[in-house]
Amino acid sequence: MTRFVDVRNMVRWVASTGPEPIIAGIMEYLEADFRRWESFDKSPRVASHTPFGVIELMPTSDHETYGFKYVNGHPSNPSRGFQTVTAFGVLADVHNGYPTFLTEMTVLTALRTAATSGMVARKLARPGSSVMAMIGSGSQSEFQALAFRSALGITTLRMWDTDPAAMDKFRRNMAPYGFDITLATSAADAVAGADVITTCTADKANATILTADLIRPGVHVNAIGGDCPGKTELDARILELGEVFVEFPEQTRIEGEIQQMPADFAVTEFWQVLTGRAAGRTSPEQVTIFDSVGFAIEDFSALRYVRDAVAGTDFYEDIDLVANPEDPKDLFGLVGALSPVG
Ligand code: NAD
């Protein structure tokens, strides 16, 4: 049997536990997996591009457990009544290849992306950071806000989105969480006085959500929206203002903000900062940029976290996903016994 967390159970579990403690919990699993980065199989995700968007498979393995996520990215989806990003994911036992855990990952991707942003910012943002500008108030935004409160204690948010309804939604959803929220009038207005800037917009274009003149010394930029070839958010000159930190360079050079830069543009792999092999922030004035695209190991960590957290609860069910004949060589016997002959 395979354990299965459907959307109803994921939502019940997140609502009963609270999204912020879950994000904090995923952060710990992420850190543990980033610290053993070298022991994982790693490859850029397999992407199928169309004019509408992209559908991707994101596999990895630590040689005990295999995991993958199916995820799409369709920026024009909301205008057609669909979400930009949806996903599901699987863990499997490497010893026999059987899937052991299957879960919805649309909600979980938002939690894991937020947890990854928080984990990185905890290491790179200036100590004492208290104000975050957020550009883009779509599906990922509330999760990002909660991650930065959990990671850095940020409670003051300056929000900008070109869609006023999305900003209203963000303020409404965040009202119970006690943030001090200002709805800005432009990206420039939002970033004024911010210690951290999160960009989480969706547009299948080389957009310029932020220009270099808006970046103050010491700021940490958490750029999560540019995650596909031809889909970036930052003015390329921003990438030369400070140090750029990435997940897996082979994937980020294809999909991230640095796709705008020469192939040998210098970046730092975040796992090396975590393990002390590379420097993180080196001065209060330094600009740090997390060029996030989302990597398979992050999904693996999130899948492990949910699997462990729901064990022994009623937030999952066992499903009959793998045909399991009594004689492992007699698969036909399963259907043969039920088929009319001739
Ligand atoms: P969404 O469509 O729900 O929200 C995007 C928001 O950006 C919308 O509210 C839109 O109005 C706003 N926007 C678009 N252009 C803008 C602009 N120029 N200025 C201000 N606001 C603008 O999308 P989402 O699910 O929140 O995802 C946001 C982005 O993050 C997507 O591009 C997605 O692919 C990416 N993403 C990255 C990761 C990662 O790991 N790095 C994970 C999940 C999603």
Are 222 and 117 within 8 A, CB to CB?
yes
pLDDT confidence of residue 53: 93
Cα–Cα dist 276/285, whole Å: 21
Confidence of residue 342 (pLDDT cuts 50, 70, 90): low
Determine the residue type at 137: S
**Percent helix, strand, coil in the chain (nearest 5)?**
40, 25, 35
Residue 78 Cα to ligand 1 midpoint, Å, equals 11
Q: In CATH terms, are 2-107+297-336 and 125-294 the same topology?
A: no
CATH superfamily, region 125-294: NAD(P)-binding Rossmann-like Domain (3.40.50.720)
Q: Is 129 left (phi over 0), alpha (psi -120 to 50) or beta?
A: beta
CA-wise closest residue to 158 among 150, 176, 148: 148
Query: How far away, in angstroms, is 136 Cα from ligand 1 center?
Result: 6
Ligand 1 atom with the smallest distance to the CA of 140 is 26
pLDDT digits (tens, 9 = 90+) for 278-316: 999 999 999 999 999 999 999 999 999 999 999 999 999
Indicate if the pLDDT at residue 339 is higher than 90: no
pTM over 0.85: yes
pLDDT of 200 over the 90 cut: yes
Task: Provide DSSP, 246-308.
Answer: ES-HHHHHHHSGGGGS-TT---EEHHHHHTTSS----STT--EEEE----HHHHHHHHHHHHH
Pocket of ligand 1 contains residue 288 by CB under 6 Å: no
* pLDDT tens column, 77-98: 999 999 999 999 999 999 999 9
Per-residue pLDDT at 332 exceeds 60? yes
Give residue 203's pLDDT.
Answer: 85
CATH architecture of residue range(s) 2-107+297-336: 2-Layer Sandwich (3.30)
Give pLDDT tens digits for 137-181. 999 999 999 999 999 999 999 999 999 999 999 999 999 999 999
Q: Please work out whether the CB of residue 71 comes within 6 Å of at least one atom of ligand 1.
A: no
Is 327 catalytic? The answer is: no
Indicate the domain borders of the chain. 2-107+297-336, 125-294
Q: How many angstroms separate the CA atoms of 303 and 295, rounded?
A: 13
pLDDT for res 205: 86
- The rounded Å distance from CA 255 to ligand 1 centre is 15
**Cβ of 195 less than 6 Å from ligand 1:** no
With the most atoms of ligand 1 within 8 angstroms of its CB, the residue from 107, 160, 224 to mutate is 224
Query: Cα(285) to centroid of ligand 1, in Å?
Result: 28
Q: What is the pLDDT of residues 7-66, one digit of tens each?
A: 999 999 999 999 999 999 999 999 999 999 999 999 999 999 999 899 999 999 999 999
- 207 pocket-lining for ligand 1 (C-beta < 6 Å): yes
In angstroms, the CA 333 to CA 326 distance is 9
CA of 166 to the centre of ligand 1 (A): 11
* Ligand 1 atom with the shortest distance to the CA of 113: 40
Is the CB of residue 166 below 6 angstroms from any atom belonging to ligand 1? Answer: yes
Instruction: Report whether pLDDT(340) > 80.
Output: no
Token duo for residue 16? 């009963």
In 187-198, which positions are buried (b, 16+ CB within 10 angstroms) versus exposed (e)? beebbeebbbbb
Model confidence pLDDT, tens digit, residues 231-280: 999 999 999 999 999 999 999 999 999 999 999 999 999 999 999 999 99
* Angstrom distance (rounded) from CA 238 to CA 245: 13
Q: Coil, strand, or helix at residue 223?
A: strand
Residue 186 has pLDDT above 70, yes or no: yes
Tokens of 191: 């970033």
